[in-house]
Amino acid sequence: MQPLSASAPGKIILFGEHAVVHGQPAIAVPLAAVQVTVCAEPAPPGTGTVIHAPDVDQTRFIKPGTGESADTPDPLYNALVYPVKLALSVCDQPVPDLALTVRSTIPIASGLGSGAALAAALIRATTAALDHPLDNDALNPLVYEVEKRHHGTPSGIDNTVIVYERPVFFVRGTPPEPFTITRPFSLVVGDTGHSSPTRLTVSDVRSLVDAEPDRVGALFEQIGALVHAARTAIESGTIETLGPLMNTNHALLQELTVSSGQLDRLCEAARRAGALGAKLSGGGRGGNMIALTQPDDIPAVAQALRAAGAVRVIHTTVG
Ligand code: PMV
């Protein structure tokens, strides 16, 4: 085989995280500014498959004849080995002598879809190396399988937006609806620097639903309604109206207990510096927040986020 590489982008949930696990819609867009790239090249005979992740100083081996481990809480097995094993099983081939090297600019466990992007890039690289490339419709359910290992009960939004690399209006269990972004808009993304496993926040929200089904169900309904309003605003190009919707979505996420002091401080700093609206994005309690910002205000908002403690600030245009 010739050496090859495959990649997948990060993602941003614009509206509807957490409620989407419980049947409400959500809107997400790919984030091409951060990527996972996997290079595949032949390895010496008898090596089996080697997965190097130099960014996290980890190497994992898949030896011929090793079966799939039962469901395991080992995050590195689930992130690095499991996607490759799934790829080998769809190719119906024995373990090849293959070296896979992973590079990622997506921060881990911070709401930007690192797990799904890593799985998508690993499966793309492995299947292409075995001359069995998959189209996105075949790839998407495999990445969802990996997401289940990470999250327990993922909605499927991360794998969908990352595999198809298109903005998506997503309802769990239904085919993704691509939609049109009539007028591009700018987001400033601020990283708290604290990783927070989505599995935990999703499970805490589930406990909240079990304890107070009526109150929490009503919060989900409110989030769903604002996701519909946001879709209308994005499709009609009335971007200004998205800002207040983001602020309301953040307040509802606070009520779901998935914000944090640092996320609240970053959102507040962005608003004070002129952002039209701001909210946490993804699983919450850490990770990233997003601020809808007019192009002229981007430097001030980025500066305010850094001053409020953001460890990394990215600017991206959606649409
Ligand atoms: O934290 P992330 O990037 O994995 O986003 C998760 C989004 C949730 O709605 C919290 C969970 C899900 O599966 O949809």
Could you give the 3-state DSSP secondary structure of residue 90?
helix
Q: Is 111 in the pocket of ligand 1 (CB under 6 A)?
A: yes
Q: Name 314's bridge partners.
A: 189
Task: Round to whole Å and give the CA distance between 280 and 282.
Answer: 7
Cα–Cα distance, 213 to 227 (Å, whole number): 21
Mutational pocket test of ligand 1: of 147, 202, 219, 253, the residue with most ligand atoms within 8 Å of the beta carbon: 202
157 in contact with ligand 1, CB cutoff 6 A:
yes
pLDDT at 63: 87
Rounded CA-CA distance 93/87 in Å is: 9
Question: Residue 16: CB within 6 Å of ligand 1?
Answer: no
Distance from the alpha carbon of residue 172 to the mean position of ligand 1, in angstroms: 12
CA–centroid distance, residue 46 to ligand 1 (Å):
39
**Residues of 278-291 as b/e, b for ≥16 C-beta within 10 angstroms?**
bbbbbbbbbbbbbb
119 lines ligand 1 (CB under 6 A): no
Distance, CA 296 to ligand 1 centroid (Å)? Answer: 31
- Cα-flanking dihedrals φ and ψ of residue 104, to 5°? -140, 140
Ligand 1 centroid vs 256 CA: distance in angstroms? Answer: 14
How many helical (H) and strand (E) elements, i.e. helices and strands, does the chain have? 10, 11
Q: Measured from the CB, is residue 113 less than 6 Å from ligand 1?
A: yes
pLDDT in tens, 194-246: 999 888 999 999 999 999 999 999 999 999 999 999 999 999 999 999 999 99
**Cβ neighbours of 61 (radius 10 Å):** 12
The predicted structure's pLDDT at residue 151:
80
Q: What is the DSSP string of 155-174?
A: -SHHHHHHHHTS-EEE-TTS
Q: What is the DSSP letter of 275?
A: -
What's residue 148's pLDDT? 92
Is the Cβ–Cβ distance between 34 and 9 less than 8 Å?
yes
Question: Annotated active-site positions, please?
Answer: 158
Q: State whether the beta carbon of 283 lies less than 6 angstroms from ligand 1.
A: yes
pLDDT value at residue 70? 66
C-alpha 40 to ligand 1 mean position (Å): 29
Atom 13, ligand 1: residue with shortest CA distance: 154
Q: Is the CB of 158 under 6 A from ligand 1?
A: yes
Residue numbers in the chain where pLDDT is lower than 70? 66-70, 73
107, 114 in Cβ contact below 8 A? yes
- Provide the residue count of the chain: 319
